[in-house]
Structure 1
């Protein structure tokens, strides 16, 4: 947003020509910064409650560096998903306080504290192989200002492991269930709790798993009420949605 536009809007609020709520609506629709290779959406946090997230896959290292440099001018927290080790090393050159979460393939930069509610999100996995997707969900939720409890490797092949952690799961405000193979974990969890369950199918499994399609269809066809499904391996989407639910 140009300076003269902002000054005019502030003057109108001050003179009572426009209500604060209407001025806020104007601000929500206005500013972004065009840096040539990307348009940085500065007001996404104002509109949606969370700042813009950088999806690194498919972007060049140079473009990622430019985007992060621009976003850091506003002292913003940075969440960059699907980032490889070489991308992280390049980001460290311009931002020494960047952290890399290798399992989740996420780069984070924390410049300001985010208010965290007392309630928490539980992230549950069927197996150890599902942990990378689960960590993408967990790190995303934590960066958006949530407490996360991790309960890993409690799939239906050994149901006693899940039941042994039931108290932690049932006390969460929202549960993220991450599973590959046949994806049965989401239905089991959904049948045990009175909280929303976000199901994340993973591409883990043998041939007939079809790279996560079998788990996706199982979760979509769940007979348990209160289960919603995100895309295959979409830990980020689940973490983001869980954060929105946890903060309601």
Structure 2
């Protein structure tokens, strides 16, 4: 990770976490009405905490977030060992392209981007992504719904690999297949991680509960909010 606030030290590996400022009625809104807006924000904050801990030892961590009032200041205070950067306007492809471009321009050799909607993602999957990039130019972590939870690139294939983000069918079931086909056109054969899942809707919470790691931020938040085993959320728990 970035050493303290020494943000000028660039490691060979960089984890790019895409997230949001945890605010009620701004994050995880599709988990309503199972969860109150405050519970959605509290649970998502835990998702983000867990995502920020997925980097292998020695890798830098960046958190990329949309523009919100005091977003950088608040998140830098919560994650003092990471760099917080604001996402540009445009599609998710534009935002991913910016993050990878910055990483490679600043000297990073291997970069992996992940989301913050998969709180049970094993850290070993992220470590495997970086290991794969020692010999492969592209790595993908597919999701059950046809998207991907991780994409990693080596600096040697940039900027040609920017095509992987241009005009991609974001939020569609064809995204991962589209990315594989676009990679083939570039002569890239992706290494693939195990398939995993996002937690976006109330029906995803039951699976998440079964996979929670003891001691994780999400497990603690789940217990604190009184949500275990289908219990009704605490309507006063707008943390």
TM-score normalised by structure 1 residue count: 0.28
Higher Rg of the two aligned structures: 1
TM-score normalised by structure 2 residue count: 0.28
**Structure with greater helix percent:** 1
